[in-house]
């Protein structure tokens, strides 16, 4: 993987191993994967177990390196339709593999370490992808919870919304629970049925103060903050969303689940 004389050269340290060999078939959020290090780099794993998550940098072989503008996956037109010029994004504004230097970057949870093989919860690199580096994810400096992103693409369907919301909620809370799953179902319903797969310009949420995991999950996914007045608390067993001049109530049922009341 050397480059022209005088330019930087890259040396793969290992390769991705998973069951996906087709980039077009790769799930948006990735699949369970492993990284197998080459033997000469195995000693670099000393004290690797100190970190629950790491950044995986990979070289995305076989992609276009001359394209500077793309239509993100979530904005692709239907078959037979022409792309809308408004959907074009510069490659530095998206995570498209097509870019001048096709370096992929993914944060992943370490599941197990077996010699020079590291198992991860998910990577969005196909099988055999060369790995360039592994770097610890530092919660003290890499987590910027106040960071904001305008929506780039749209989820393809309700299940894609649910998977994305669940991953974000679990990453924020660090553990699973019935109330976390309930919050995921509520937010999945609201995003798909009310917002029609588009994020609002701002959030206005009221949550039950006694249901801590529901509160945490909604904060973690929406990034709504009490200090900004985006999320508030009440004594009722219900989650309320205010959007577009309307109010949407999710009454929490004693036996689990919710009842939806649009006002």
Instruction: Answer whether 14-62+102-136 and 158-262 agree in fold.
Output: no
Tell me the angle at which helices 212-222 and 158-173 cross, rounded to the nearest 10 degrees.
110
pLDDT recorded at residue 48: 97
**Residue range 14-62+102-136, CATH number:** 2.40.30.70
Domain positions in the chain are 14-62+102-136, 158-262
The gap between the terminal CA atoms of the chain, to the nearest Å, is 60
Collapsing DSSP states into helix, strand and coil, what is residue 180?
Answer: helix
**Predicted pLDDT at 157:** 86
How much is the pLDDT for 95? 87
At residue 75, the pLDDT reads 73
In the predicted model, residues of the chain with pLDDT beneath 50 are: 3
**194: Cβ contacts below 8 Å, ≥ 6 apart:** 241, 243, 248, 262
Fold exhibited by the domain 158-262: 60s Ribosomal Protein L30; Chain: A; (3.30.1330)
State pLDDT tens for residues 198-221: 889 899 999 999 999 999 999 999
- The model's pTM is 0.84
């Amino acid at each position: 993987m050397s480059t022209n004389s005088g330019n930087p050269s890259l040396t793969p340290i290992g390769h991705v191993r998973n069951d996906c060999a087709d980039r077009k078939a790769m799930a948006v959020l990735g699949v369970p994967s492993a990284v197998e290090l080459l033997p000469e780099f195995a000693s670099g794993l000393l004290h690797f177990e100190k970190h629950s998550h790491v950044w995986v940098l990979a070289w995305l072989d076989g992609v276009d390196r001359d394209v500077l503008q793309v239509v993100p996956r979530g904005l692709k037109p239907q078959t037979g339709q022409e792309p809308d010029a408004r959907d074009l994004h510069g490659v530095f504004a998206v995570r498209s593999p097509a870019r001048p230097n096709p370096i992929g970057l993914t944060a992943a949870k370490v599941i197990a370490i077996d010699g020079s093989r590291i198992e991860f919860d998910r990577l969005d690199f196909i099988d055999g992808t060369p790995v360039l580096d592994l770097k610890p994810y530092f919660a003290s400096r890499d987590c910027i919870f106040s960071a904001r992103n305008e929506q780039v693409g749209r989820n393809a369907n309700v299940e894609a919304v649910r998977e994305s919301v669940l991953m974000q909620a679990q990453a924020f809370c660090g553990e699973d629970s019935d109330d976390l799953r309930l919050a995921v179902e509520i937010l999945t319903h609201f995003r798909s049925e009310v917002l029609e797969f588009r994020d609002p310009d701002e959030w206005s949420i009221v949550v039950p103060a006694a249901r801590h995991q529901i509160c945490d999950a909604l904060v973690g996914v929406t990034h709504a903050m009490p200090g900004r007045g985006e999320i508030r608390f009440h004594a009722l067993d219900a989650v309320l969303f205010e959007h577009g001049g309307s109010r949407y109530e999710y009454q929490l049922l004693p036996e689990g689940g919710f009842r939806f009341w649009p006002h």
